[in-house]
Amino acid sequence: VRLMLQRNFLIWLLASLFYAYQYILRVIPNIIAPELITKFKISVTDVGQFGGLYYVGYTVAHIPVGLFLDRSGPKLVVPICTILTFAGTLPLICFDEWYYSILGRIIVGIGSSASAIGIFKVASMYFSQEKSARMEIIIGLLGAIYGGLPLDFLLDKFGWDYVIYTFSAFGCLLALLLFFVTPSNDAQGSISDNILQDLKTVLFNKHIILISFFGGLMVGPLEGFADGWAKAFLCEMYQMTGDLASSLSSLMFIGIGAGAFFLAYLLEKCPNRHCEVIIACSFAMIASFFLLFTRAGGLYVVLPALLVIGFASGYQVITIYKAISYVNNNLVGLATAVSNMIVMVFGYFFHVGIAKIVDLYWDGMIIQGNPVYGAGLLSFDDEIYQSIEKELQRQRSQLQLIASENFVSKAVMEAQGSFLTNKYAEGYPGKRYYCGCEYVDEVESLAIERLCKLFGVKFANVQPYSGSQANQAVFASLLTPGDTILGLSLSCGGHLTHGAAPSLSGKWFKSIQYTVSKDTYLLDMDEVEKLALEHKPKLIIAGASAYPRKINFKRFREIADKVGAYLLADIAHYAGLIAAGEYPSPAGYAHVMTSTTHKTLRGPRGGVIMTNDETLHKKIQSAVFPGLQDMGTAYCGDSRNANYGLADEERVRNGRFFAL
């Protein structure tokens, strides 16, 4: 007898482990949703449908699995379904095509259907029905709890592909143990041979159908919220970290365990109080969700509210046990299948429904690899939000041929909206005026390194707020008020900061302007040389804001050397072309180069200064900070990406047409 009890306990333990195991695989896609969106290039709706497809397979397989369990016992059915469960997860990491993962998700649902039915079947075969509900929850809910913070930790530490491979190996071992431990003669002896009659008996039992239907209406808190969206909700509404949100999400499953025990005990003592229990649970859920959604009470109500929601959801196990109480033991598997099928099919609609609503209002924003679902600005300032939305629609419907406007990549938007916004960092890498700047130093150092490599220079400053600010920093480092500068006239395609009268460069310095030939509209280099020899400028500026021809930087340097002037090459409107090798580079000729990051480099708004002269670089560093500004922002730029070559070839061809 003792040996039999040990065997029965081992069978129950393995079946419970399978229940916990399938639950972990069930929630993995919700935890790795950002990775799925990135790898397969899918939307939030796709993720929601993917989660919901689990319930399609889960529901469809219920009746066949229930029939097989009633007729052949759990020895073959449960191990085979265990194999299906982990095999269906493998396409996520083995294939790059999304439809393989969709098919696999349905297979996971088919395999998982045997977990709930199998454990009810095992419990009813080896233990008293009054205790089996409580026993089933003990380990099963551990899987739900493990699907929170511990699983999140493993995924962060080892990566999702490694974790899925590991869990697949564990599933294979579990299937083997279930097959060898479970006896082969454990099917019920009084099984009817008339399958249709069995189906009719269960499907036309109004008590089973009604109880299961109303149970299905109440699965939203578990299947729709706890399984899929609790973590994202807590992160958005309460600004929690992912780890903390995962931990608190698990509280609902602890609550479910406590609720199932307590409610089962209560109904044992008061068997005719089902209506009162359901009404009390419903009002408890409504009140808890109201507190969570309105943030009434702040963070203090989150923990108790989640526990109460979980506790009130404990009716689900009671629902199934109430349903199977209307059939004989020989139909327990089928009755469980039908009841659980009806309840769980609602999970698909809750998953997909919530995902569609979220996707409807989601703007596609992803920060630090995580989708941002919350309303954000909309909830704080509707007027500003609406203006930004109108601007977005304008950009999508209109084409403005303005050099300073471009459509930045999502990577740039992500960097600009990152947590660097919270950091203040005066000074330069390794020489800051504030502590806690080590990671800002990393980012700025990478930007400098990549910018130097991109343009073939030795030194760079990436802190100026704009190209104009960059030019002013060069003026401050190389000139004194009253010095003479030589730049292209604004009317001939020059820039305000190249000595135009309205700008500070035209007010602080004696500005001499060269022009283009009236016949060819090309730069008149002979005139440049004549003006330089006549006025002896201290700085000559080569560059333009509206000159679609090649500039002879070599000739400019020769002229500068003749009069002992510095040569500044302002390449803001050519930088992308230069980086792509489609336009002559002044790197070997100019003493200093300046540029913006938001034109042909397709980065955010900012300016940069480059040079090969270390002495000039030190002067420029002092001119930028503390000379002109405090903290720079341009190191968030996308100028490090050199893969704009193809796009710039198009710009060259189109530019020839527009320059005519």
For 280-298, the DSSP string reads HHHHHHHHHHHHHHHTTTG
- Residue 441 annotated among the catalytic residues of the structure: no
- Residue 326 annotated among the catalytic residues of the structure: no
Question: 59, 596, 611, 633: which is the annotated catalytic residue?
Answer: 596
The answer to the question of residue 401 being in a domain is no
- Residue 605 annotated among the catalytic residues of the structure: yes
The reported pLDDT for the residue numbered 239 is: 75
Beta bridge partners of 513: 487
pLDDT value at 656 more than 50? no
**The residue count for the chain:** 660
Rounded CA separation 321/339 (Å): 9
Question: 162, 424, 433, 434: which is the annotated catalytic residue?
Answer: 424
Question: Would the CA dihedral through 431, 437, 442, 443 be positive or negative?
Answer: negative
Domain containing 331 — which CATH number?
Answer: 1.20.1250.20
| pLDDT above 90 as % of the chain | 23
Q: Are 593 and 616 in contact (CB under 8 A)?
A: no
Residues 533 and 595 in one domain: yes
Confidence of residue 53 (pLDDT cuts 50, 70, 90): confident
Residues 353 and 461 in one domain: no
Question: 161, 243, 414, 426: which is the annotated catalytic residue?
Answer: 426
The reported pLDDT for the residue numbered 250 is: 75
Residues 360 and 497 in one domain: no
The answer to the question of residue 407 being in a domain is no
Question: 71, 599, 619, 640: which is the annotated catalytic residue?
Answer: 599
- Residue 58 annotated among the catalytic residues of the structure: no
Higher per-residue confidence, 363 vs 649: 363
The reported pLDDT for the residue numbered 80 is: 93
Q: Tell me which of 8-22, 188-202, 561-575, 596-610 is least confident.
A: 188-202
Confidence of residue 634 (pLDDT cuts 50, 70, 90): very low
Average pLDDT (586-605) is 89
Rounded CA separation 616/621 (Å): 9
Residues 350 and 418 in one domain: no
Report the domain count for the chain: 2
- Residue 426 annotated among the catalytic residues of the structure: yes
pLDDT tens for 165-216 read 888 999 999 999 989 988 875 454 445 557 778 788 888 888 888 888 877 8
Q: At which of 318, 349, 373 does a domain end?
A: 373
Residues 490 and 434 in one domain: yes
The answer to the question of residue 639 being in a domain is no
Q: At which of 343, 358, 373 does a domain end?
A: 373
Residues with Cβ within 8 Å of 435's Cβ and at least 6 positions away in sequence, in order, are none
- Residue 424 annotated among the catalytic residues of the structure: yes
The answer to the question of residue 400 being in a domain is no
Q: Are 249 and 148 in contact (CB under 8 A)?
A: yes
Confidence of residue 2 (pLDDT cuts 50, 70, 90): low
Confidence of residue 472 (pLDDT cuts 50, 70, 90): very high
The reported pLDDT for the residue numbered 84 is: 93
Average pLDDT (143-162) is 69
Q: At which of 373, 403, 438 does a domain end?
A: 373
Domain containing 424 — which CATH number?
Answer: 3.40.640.10
Rounded CA separation 286/283 (Å): 5
The answer to the question of residue 394 being in a domain is no
Q: Are 167 and 89 in contact (CB under 8 A)?
A: yes
* Nearest-10 Cα torsion for 616, 621, 622, 623: 80
Residues 310 and 435 in one domain: no
Residues 57 and 136 in one domain: yes
The answer to the question of residue 236 being in a domain is yes
**Full residue range of the structural domain in which residue 115 is found:** 1-182+195-373
Residues 349 and 424 in one domain: no
pLDDT value at 570 more than 80? yes
Rounded CA separation 248/188 (Å): 42
DSSP code per residue over 408-449: --HHHHHHHTSGGGG----EETTEESSSS-HHHHHHHHHHHH
Residues 546 and 484 in one domain: yes
Preceding omega of 91 cis (within 30 degrees of 0): no
Residues 49 and 112 in one domain: yes
The answer to the question of residue 387 being in a domain is no
Residues 13 and 148 in one domain: yes
The answer to the question of residue 651 being in a domain is no
Question: 152, 198, 227, 570: which is the annotated catalytic residue?
Answer: 570
What is the 3-state secondary structure of 138-195?
HHHHHHHHHCCHHHHHHHHHHCHHHHHHHHHHHHHHHHHHHHHHCCCCCCCCCCCCCH
The reported pLDDT for the residue numbered 657 is: 45
pLDDT tens for 262-280 read 877 777 777 777 677 778 8
Residues 203 and 329 in one domain: yes
